[in-house]
Amino acid sequence: MKTGGLGTRWPRPTTQRRVMPSGEHPGCHINSMTAHCILPFVEVCLVGGALYLDVMSHFVELFREDGFVTGSAPVTEICGPFGIMRKQLAAWLNRPLPAPGDEVGAGRSR
At 84-93, the pLDDT tens digits run 999 999 999 9
Alpha helices in the chain (DSSP H): 26-33, 50-65, 82-94
> Is 76 within the bounds of a domain?
yes
- Number of domains the chain is built from: 1
> Is 58 within the bounds of a domain?
yes
Coil/strand/helix, residue 87: helix
> Is 9 within the bounds of a domain?
no
Amino acid type, 45: C
Q: What share of the chain is helix, strand, coil (3-state, %, to 5)?
A: 35, 10, 55
Distance CA 53, CA 72 (A): 19
Is the whole-model pTM more than 0.75? no
Does an H or E element contain 75, and which? strand 75-78
**Residues 71-86: pLDDT tens digits?**
999 999 999 999 999 9
Domain that holds residue 90: 22-94
